[in-house]
Chain A
Amino acid sequence: MRRFILVTALLAALPVWAGPQDILNGYAAQAKQENPGFKGFSAAAGERFYHTKGSTGVSCASCHTDNPRAQGSHRTTARNIAPIAPVANRERLTDPAKVEKWFGRNCRDAQGRACTTQEKGDFIAYLLSIK
């Protein structure tokens, strides 16, 4: 009985303790739902996306620098931005709500529009490919 409670508790805690891979899996499930022909995420596409300037003239790299392992800086306030790659910053990609919030904000600021699920997944795949 005690073991059962422990296992249940651990399982219940799983979504809270989400790792980057869990978040990526979440986006994959969503992508499959949206597009029956979904063929998985591509780190290479994510890397291209990272450096692509949108209608605003801004790319992810504008603030997060060309190296996702490096500390970035806000373009107008000069606020330090901790490295975005999980390999350099273990707090990254651990909270699904936070990830969604920042995609929401930054896709608009950089691309001038919301990102597609495919783009989000590619982006995370790229960050996870950085060792």
Chain B
Amino acid sequence: MKKILVWDLPTRLFHWLLAAGFATAWITAGSEEWMAVHTFAGWMMLGLVVFRLVWGFAGNRYARFSSFLFSPKAAIAYGKDVLTGRAKRHIGHNPAGSWAIYLMLLMVPLVVVAGLVTIGAEDGAGPFANMLPEAMGHDLKELHEAIATGMLVLVGVHVLGVIVESRVHKENLALSMITGKKEGQPEDDARRPYRIAGAALLALAVAGAAMFFGTPAAAEHEEHEHERGERSYSRAVVADNAKWRAECSSCHMAFPPAMLPARSWTRMMAEQDKHFGESLGIDPATTKEILAFLQKNAGDVVQAGHASRFARSVPAGQTTQRITETSGWKREHDEVSAKAWRNVQSKANCAACHQGAEKGNFDEDDVRIPKTPIGAKKP
């Protein structure tokens, strides 16, 4: 027995870059601020899988698919052997590990495509921009997350298998994935480390990152992120008017004009004597000024991220008065529990969860849902 080469450099790099990509994507998931990094991690993983499929025919003997073609039955049998401590040692990929690879090669494209289709539907961005309606965005996201969770389970099983096997065979399998070396017979040595191919793969990944983060496309993407986040909402509110703010923020927060279409605001001001059960009695001059401001900044007139989506979800010809009755608003809030709604008392109370609501920031990252009823005030 002596040290022999098993994993060539491209295979090792593929493994660790994929692991890093998955970890990055998992950590940055759901954060609008980190969306660009999240998206890049996905693209990198997809590129790595494409490379691995090629390398499965072009790599050294242990990297080739032909060296680890096992049936699912063999994989399950091997898994049982691992659990009972009787698993046979493999120099290359063992049957269970092989299936982890197959599944990973299958799930990465699935999760990435599901993610891209989600972005395409929700934000109208990426290669699948507007391929599916925005209304499906939520379900697509759930699918994307379900696949990702499946991958995490797979990673967990894989790591567990590596730990158990390393103990059973008294060798550090994780270390051999770094050095490429294992103890073995000289005739099992793969000999070819493919250092240049490995360097090329790494260079490709770096070039991909540079392209993604350094090109106008990335800048546009980033701008898009901002548009979706704080800035656009701020813009809806920053278009400020003292009278609008004073009058419309005394009984509830001053809701951004972009959240309803102009025709809804027109009706709202015309029917101010029955404003959700109250009579406003705003003088005609003030009413006129406020209405002009609302119409100028209405969601069907200006583009202001999710806010204008609420307005645009109001069916043509309808003049919905409650923002919370627009399908756009409902879609954004369908995950809020009944208990949370009780705690905030009123759906009009945006700032109970959206910490920056008064300043026009409805960013998902700044949402804190109260755990106890907010009305529990001291006298």
Contacts and interface: CB of A to CB of B under 8 A. Distances in A.
B84 interface: no
Interface in A32-86: 65-67, 70-71, 73-74, 76-79
A65 B281 CA distance: 24
B372 interface: no
B277 interface: yes
A109 interface: yes
B279 A76 contact: no
Interface size class on chain B is 20 to 34
B375 A78 contact: yes
A73 B377 contact: yes
A65 B379 contact: yes
Interface residues of A, number: 16
Interface in A89-131: 101, 104-105, 108-109
Contacts of B344: 78
Given A105-B280, A105-B281, A73 B379 contact: no
A108 B274 CA distance: 11
Contacts of A109: 278-279
Contacts of A70: 379
Contacts of A108: 278-279
A77 B281 contact: no
A74 B379 contact: no
Contacts of A73: 375, 377
Nearest to A65: B379
A74 B346 CA distance: 10
B141 to A, nearest CB: 30
Interface in B266-283: 276-281
A78 B379 contact: no
Given A105-B281, A108-B279, A77 B348 contact: yes
B346 to A, nearest CB: 4
Nearest to A74: B251
Contacts of B276: 76
Given A79-B349, A104-B281, A108-B279, A74 B252 contact: yes
Interface string B243-259: 00000001111000000
Contact of A79 (B251, B280, B379): B251
A109 to B, nearest CB: 6
Interface of A: 65-67, 70-71, 73-74, 76-79, 101, 104-105, 108-109
Given A73-B375, A79-B250, A105-B280, 12 more contacts: A66-B379, A71-B377, A76-B277, A76-B348, A78-B345, A78-B348, A78-B349, A78-B375, A79-B251, A79-B252, A79-B253, A79-B348
